Chain A
Amino acid sequence: MNSKHLLILGGGTAGTMIAHHMRRRLAAADWKITVIDRDENHYYQPGFLLYPFGHYRRDQIVKQKRDFMPRGVDFQIAEVEKISPDTHSVSLKGGASVPYDLLVIATGCRTAPEETEGMLGGEWRKSIFDFYTFDGAAALREKLATWEGGNLVVHVTEMPVKCPVAPLEFAFLAESFFRERGMRDRVQITYVTPLTGAFTKPKAAKKLGHLLGDKGIAVETDFAVEKIDPETRKLICYDGREVPFDLLVTTPTNMGAEVIRDSGLGDDLDFVPTHKHTLQSLKYPDIFILGDATNVPTSKAGSVAHFESEALTENLLRHIAGQPLVEDFDGHSNCFIESGDGKALLIDFNYDIEPHEGGFPFAFGPMRLLEESRLNHLGKLAFRHVYWQILMKGRPLLGISRIKKAPANA
C-alpha cells in the first residue's frame, strides 16, 4: 500500500472544515485521511452566549462530531498523548501509535480556571461562572433563572480569549435580560478587562463607546486579576484594586490543549507557533495548524477557522506537490456582536485593517458594518443553521471572500 496519510487532530469547527476540503481535493487512492478527537460532541459554541439567557435547547447546539465527517474520512475517538514530529507519529492513550505524512493540528483552546487563584474555590458554579463550556453555560442558565439581583461582574482574565467580544456581548445581553424581567434596578453591572477599555480600537471606540454608558454598565480597565477571594467575593488586582461581586461571570485564561504542552510544541499558553500567513508550523514543515490552536495574532473564532481552512487547503496541496506556499492568510475575521434588545452589530477586520463602517455582502442580504440593527441579530440567529447545514458539511459560503477587502474610505 503506497497511499499517504493526512492526520487531523481535532474534529471541531476547524478540523471538520479542513477534513471536508481535503477529502474533496485528495484522491482516496493516494491519501488516507484520519480525524482524531477525544470528545464525541460537536458544540455550536456561539450558542453558549445565548444559552444562559434561556435560548436554545441542548440538541440545537450539541450534536455528534461523526455526523459531520465527510465520507472517506476515518473518524476516531481517542486521547492523543503526544505528538512526535521527529518520528512523524502521534501516540494515543492506551499505547497505540499513529504515523502520519502530513499533520494538521486543530486541537482548539480550552479554559483554564485553575490558572487563577481562588477561581475554582468553593464558589465555582455557585457565584462564579463561565459560559465558555456547555456545562458552564448550562449552570449559569439555572443560576440566572432564579437570581434575585446584586453586583454582576463580567470579567476577562487575560488575552487572548476565544471569541474576544463575547464577554462584552454577555454584559449587553444581561442588561436587557434583567430589564425585560423588571429587575434592572436591582442589578449593578460592571465589565472588568485587562485591556485599556471595552473598546480598544479607535474606530470601534468612537462609534460604540457610548453603548456602555447608555446601558449603565460600569467599566474597570487595566485590571490584571491576581486572585479571587471566594469568601468575601472579590476580584483582586495586582495593584490592590478590588471589585466586589455577588455573581461573577468570568472568562478564565484560555490555553491550548494539554497535548501541545506535553509534546513541547507550544508557547507559554500552549498555543503552537505558526506562520501567520501560511499556517505552517514555524519549526516542522510537515505540521500545519488551524483554528484556535495557533498563536497567530487574530481572533480565536469560527470565522477565522473558516477563512484559514481555505488558505490552508491551498497550502497543504502545494506542500504535497513540493511547491512554495502562498503567504496570503490575512487574519480575516468577522462576527456578529449581540448588543441586547434584539439587536446586533457586525464587524469585519484582519491583521491590518481594524473594524470599520460600511456595507457587508452576505447571503441574507445587505448588512451594515459597525452599526446596531435588528437584521444583524436575525443574521446571528440564522447563522446557527448556516453553521450546521453549510459550513460543517463543507459547502461553500457564497459571496464571502477569504481575503478581507479594504474599506472604500481607507
Chain B
Amino acid sequence: MQKTIAGTTVEVNEESYLTDMNQWTTAIADAIAAEESVGPLTEAHHKVLNYLRDLQKQSATITIRGVGKSGVVTTKELYDLFPGGPLKKASKIAGIPKPVGCI
C-alpha cells in the first residue's frame, strides 16, 4: 500500500514500515520520528539509523545486542534515543523492516 510521508508517496506495509528502503529520505525519517514521539532527530539518532541501514543492505540480522555491541551506541543509549521500543522505532524511522520472529 502507499502512504504520503513528508510530501513523498512511498510504499509501506500494514504497519507503515517502508517496504523499499531506497525510497527513504531524512525528511521521511523526521516525519516518522515525530509520529513515533522520537526526537527531534540528532546526529546521535542518525548514526544509529545509518548503521541499521548498512546492516539491512548486508541482509544481516538486526538485534539489540548486535547494535549495543557495535560500538555505534550502547544499549542504554539506544533506549534513551528511541524510548519504548528501540528496535521497532529505530527500524521504522530508518526505513527498513521491523525485526520479527517467525510468527
Contact = CB atoms under 8 A, between A and B. Distances in A.
Interface of A: 158-160, 164-165, 193-196, 199-202, 204, 208, 221-222, 224, 226, 237-239, 253, 267-269, 276, 295, 297-299, 333, 337, 347, 349, 355
Given A165-B103, A222-B85, A222-B88, A200 B98 contact: yes
Contacts of A297: 59, 61
B66 interface: yes
10 contacts: A158-B65, A165-B101, A165-B102, A195-B101, A196-B85, A224-B75, A238-B76, A238-B78, A239-B79, A355-B103
Contact of B99 (A159, A253, A355): A159
B18 to A, nearest CB: 16
B38 interface: no
B51 to A, nearest CB: 14
Q: Which 3 A-B pairs have the closest CB atoms?
A: A222-B85, A200-B100, A204-B103
A221 B65 CA distance: 16
Nearest to A271: B61
A159 B88 CA distance: 14
Contacts of B64: 158, 194, 224, 238
Chain B contact-residue range equals 20 to 34
Grouping DSSP codes into helix (H, G, I), strand (E, B) and loop, the B interface class, with mixed when no group exceeds half, is: loop
A159 B86 contact: no
Contacts of B85: 196, 221-222
Nearest to B74: A238
B59 A200 contact: no
Interface string B13-44: 11100000000000000000000000000000
A113 B6 CA distance: 45
A222 B87 contact: yes
Contacts of B86: 222, 224
Contacts of A201: 100-103
Contacts of A253: 65
Contact of A158 (B63, B78, B84): B63
Given A196-B98, A238-B75, A349-B102, A202 B61 contact: no
Contact of B102 (A208, A238, A276, A299): A299
A106 to B, nearest CB: 20
Contacts of B63: 158-160, 194
A202 B15 contact: yes
A23 B37 CA distance: 59
Given A222-B88, A297-B59, A238 B103 contact: no
B99 A195 contact: yes
A226 B87 CA distance: 15
A295 B58 CA distance: 12
A210 to B, nearest CB: 14
A208 B103 contact: yes
B3 interface: no
